[in-house]
Chain A
Amino acid sequence: MPADGGIGASTRRREDVRFLTGQGRYTDDINIHNQAHVFFLRSDMAHGRINGIDISAAEKMPGVLKVFTAADFAEVGGIPCGWQVTDRFGEPMQEPKHPVLAEGFVRHVGEPIAAVVADTLQQARDAAEAIEVDIEALPAVVDMAAALEDGAQKVHEDLKSNLCYDWGFVEENRDAVDEAIRKAPHVTTLELVNQRLVANPVEPRVAIGVHDRADDEYTLYTTSQNPHVIRLLMGAFVLGIPEHKLRVVSPDVGGGFGTKIFHYQEEAFCTFAAKVVNRPVKWRASRSEAFMSDAQGRDHVTKIELALDEEGHFLAIRTSTLANMGAYLSTFAPSVPTWLHGTLMAGNYRTPLIYVNVRAVFTNTVPVDAYRGAGRPEATFQLERVIDKAARELGIDPVEIRRRNFITEFPYETPVALTYDTGDYHATMDKLMELADRDGFEARAAESKKRGRLRGFGVNCYIEACGIAPSNLVGQLGARAGLYESATVRVNATGSVTVMTGSHSHGQGHETAFPQVIASMIGIDPSQVEIVHGDTARVPMGMGTYGSRSLAVGGSAMVRAAEKVIDKARKIAAHLLEASAEDIELKEGRFTVKGTDKSVAWGDVTLAAYVPHNYPLEDLEPGLEETAFYDPANFTYPAGAYACEVEVDPETGKVTVERFAAVDDFGTIVNPMIVDGQVHGGLGQGIGQALLEGCVYDDEGQLLTASYMDYAMPRADDLPFYSVDHSCATPCTHNPLGVKGCGEAGCIGSPPTIVNAVVDALQRAGHDVTHIDMPLTPSRVWAAMQG
């Protein structure tokens, strides 16, 4: 570990002190003087026509300031979608309006119909009970296949059908893939469900809208992963507030996992209502509201076919998916099953021909959008499951079949439009075999058998694409946003540094890790560096944190800004040392004239920048502050190999995870402790998906899992200790730090590991089971064992 606390040090997190002592400042901890509270009356019906809303009784209830319905939002735009997918016929996707409050119809359980703003939350809630809504029930569209049948009930009357888009990728490969599969010596087919999940950060969403009538300025405090994105979407498309009059603040945020990326109705409502009632308006989601209103994740139904030759070499992949959009298009929903999923279908393997078809479907369910991994877990799961099935059909060891198909030369251009810059998949697999102690498996299996348990070994690889970019490419793919990141590096007169970053930390430890980078670059102590984030009034326009992009994109912007600062400081130092700037080097916090003992300290140079008495004023402006916007040339490609051992209780079907080993290639690592933690957390969520979690609607579109009592969140006794390793590092070739991104890997790689292991356990025990859909609950596993 570097002694200086710079890059590579497992520095303890500075933010922990406030979190551990109850001094964190989350949005719900903020109360604005004279604030009112809003309670949303939400639909308890999945689909219906609103014939009338009578608010007259509610308006007269104690403490009520105003009752809002869609009529109050007639001049306001809908919640915009930030990504337009073009279908395989060249047509844009179908894009319904997403109103702030339901307009004429309710389309999912939980959709807000009316909102009461009152002095207290209790008064608002009581008054909402007095609202009379006349809703005529319509048939609910829940099943995706049924939704696409001719004559199916439509979720949106004004759209042609329930099909959002029919996307083909790469469309030109379609015929060649069909032919390769037709002619292949062996084709393995697998139909599977990647079930709907709920991200469930433990902090529910909160929004507080404030309007200052004197200056006509708005402030929104919100639990967001990307405050500038909210400011842009809400200001420009919903409320028509110019950006200089709208400040968005995301203070400490209690976990995001994707679901706090998106712009939600409640944010627009509180901001809008604050002006109307001329008081700050606060909303906090209950957990059940979170289940009904936070964008949910996954929900793919897929058929995948893998064509192989007799030796197990992959010849072609054809995959067809139905992807649930829910009732409306959440901010980035259309991109998840397409560009974040189809492009990942090559995995770690040389497959010459790939064709991906995705049909996105509207249903009367809560909107679906990115959840940790976003499209990449769905790609990895189907690919790694079908490979495992193929290996068993061909009698090839599951590790060997993967090795036989590994990409070994880089850069590698996949048939699904990505260019992997680096990787060493054999080295990663070698390390995994050692870490997982595969050689010891048989002995452990025998020991399990003695106890009446079935033990299985599961293994798979994953690749992901992080830091989605560059902006001009994603624009062509339909993104309605840029995907750069910004940073301002402000050097203070006495040499300390304040970094304003567009990245946002909601658990990732930026306040600790980012200063480690600056400290290494300048040679000062990390305690001399402060990170500012999460406030549009304080940081330059930035895109926030999602898709494991913070260090790869935000960190790169910070490095670029710091390089500019150092470049200028070097010129100042050259002046002070009466030398040429080219001869000045910065090391351990001192500028030295190369080959001499002449030097000047960092702090003396920074002071000269702000007290420019002895200063080259004719050539340089005073001051030491620079901003950079970094737009990456490519994605980064973290990759890894995971293995686990499970035990199945044949009496009950209960699965326990006995061992889990994860070997990840994240390139350069700034803080190994934080990276380990990110992997642990991802594994927890991935194992949760594999064994426990599932969001369930009944045939009427009623949400059956709307609390922590119904939705099985992983708890401490559901999960094991993990063995993680990231020693097989191949640094990214196109960003200044060589970093790749580590936030989602665990969640992407682990679901197939668990399912592969359970299938292995059952097959070893003689059961003819080739697949079980997640979550692998005791009842599902037990039923599979009964044939």
Chain B
Amino acid sequence: MTEVSMTVNGRPVRADVPDNTLLADFLRENLELTGTHVGCDTAQCGACVVHVNGRAVKSCNIFALECEGAEVATIEGEAAPDGTLSAIQQAFQDHHGLQCGFCTPGMVMSAKALLAENPEPTEAEIRAYLKGNICRCTGYHNIVRAIMAASGQDVSNIAAE
């Protein structure tokens, strides 16, 4: 067991964990932040994406101990304290960018990282950026629309072209 401390969604946290504890398990088991999901164990599905020091990271592929002293942001910190959804979250709801909801936290965190890098991404840029996030429900159509909408683009007439 080794002590680890970090800031998660602005709150300082500290725990003794086995050295091989993954960040995803630390968040889910130690902090009971179960919004971060584990869908594949091999860094493919992206349901576990969180931000570590502002970068999107697959939390199933990083040890908690590697995040010593880091600023970690998870889906639980995305809405305003009064519950108001962020622009990205609201766009996902408005454009039906989720169905079962399991991949959604990772999608939202990846989308947030994308828009921080590229405030008005094209369809192709969004699709390329989401390569590391698998959704089995939506066929991605409405996820891409939601992210375009969250960046202020008009998506009212999007269909196959």
Contacts and interface: CB of A to CB of B under 8 A. Distances in A.
Given A20-B85, A716-B144, A508 B136 contact: no
Interface string A1-28: 0000000000011011111111111101
B89 A203 contact: no
Interface of A: 12-13, 15-26, 28-29, 31, 122, 200-204, 252-255, 257, 286-288, 506-509, 659-661, 673-674, 676-677, 680-685, 687, 707-709, 713-717, 719-724, 746
A507 B93 contact: no
B21 to A, nearest CB: 10
B35 A17 contact: no
21 contacts: A12-B93, A12-B94, A17-B93, A21-B35, A22-B36, A26-B37, A202-B40, A203-B37, A203-B100, A287-B40, A287-B42, A509-B99, A684-B139, A684-B141, A709-B42, A713-B44, A713-B136, A716-B130, A717-B127, A720-B160, A722-B159
B129 to A, nearest CB: 8
A119 to B, nearest CB: 13
Contacts of B39: 202-204, 254, 287
Contact of B76 (A22, A509, A707): A22
Interface string B3-46: 00000000000000010000000001100011111111110110
A161 B54 CA distance: 60
A255 B100 contact: yes
Contacts of A16: 92-93, 98, 101
Contact of A708 (B18, B36, B45, B83): B45
Nearest to B78: A21
B18 to A, nearest CB: 7
Nearest to B135: A202
A714 B140 CA distance: 9
Task: Classify the secondary structure of B's interface with A.
Answer: loop
B61 interface: no
Contacts of B102: 24, 26, 201-203, 254-255
Contacts of A200: 136
Contacts of A677: 96, 99, 137-138, 142
Interface string B136-161: 11111111100000000000001111
Contacts of B98: 16, 19-20
B94 A254 contact: no
Contacts of A506: 100
B93 A24 contact: no
Contacts of B104: 19-20
B59 interface: no
A433 B36 CA distance: 44
Contacts of A21: 35, 75-76, 78-79, 83, 85, 89
Contacts of A682: 139
A708 B101 contact: no
- Contact residues on B (Cβ < 8 Å of other chain), bracket: 35 or more
Given A22-B33, A203-B37, A713-B134, A674 B96 contact: yes
A270 B47 CA distance: 26
B33 to A, nearest CB: 7
Contacts of A288: 41
B45 A202 contact: yes
B38 to A, nearest CB: 8
B126 interface: yes
B123 A202 contact: no
A621 to B, nearest CB: 40
Contacts of B133: 715-716
B96 A673 contact: yes
A707 B140 contact: no
A678 to B, nearest CB: 8
Q: When A and B form their complex, which 9 residue pairs have the shortest distance between CB atoms, in order from nearest?
A: A22-B35, A684-B139, A19-B101, A254-B102, A507-B100, A708-B44, A507-B99, A22-B75, A29-B34
B18 A122 contact: yes
Nearest to B90: A20
Interface string B57-91: 00000000000000000111011000101000100
Contacts of A683: 139
Given A21-B78, A659-B161, A746-B139, A716 B127 contact: yes
A715 B93 contact: no
A253 B136 contact: no
Nearest to A29: B34
Nearest to A201: B136
Contact of A722 (B35, B45, B93, B141): B141
A173 to B, nearest CB: 38
A713 to B, nearest CB: 5
**Which of A255, A509, A674 neighbours the largest number of chain B CB atoms within 10 Å of its CB?**
A255
Given A22-B105, A660-B160, A723-B160, A685 B136 contact: yes
A687 B160 CA distance: 14
B140 A719 contact: yes
Nearest to A505: B100
B40 to A, nearest CB: 4
B56 interface: no
A715 B134 contact: yes
Given A16-B101, A202-B136, A721-B141, 12 more contacts: A20-B79, A22-B76, A200-B136, A201-B102, A202-B47, A203-B39, A203-B100, A255-B99, A257-B136, A717-B124, A717-B130, A746-B139
A203 B39 CA distance: 5
A189 to B, nearest CB: 33
B136 A721 contact: no
Nearest to B147: A716
Given A13-B93, A20-B98, A717-B130, A722 B41 contact: no
Contact of A709 (B44, B101, B141, B159): B44
A202 B49 CA distance: 14
A722 B160 CA distance: 4
A254 B79 CA distance: 22
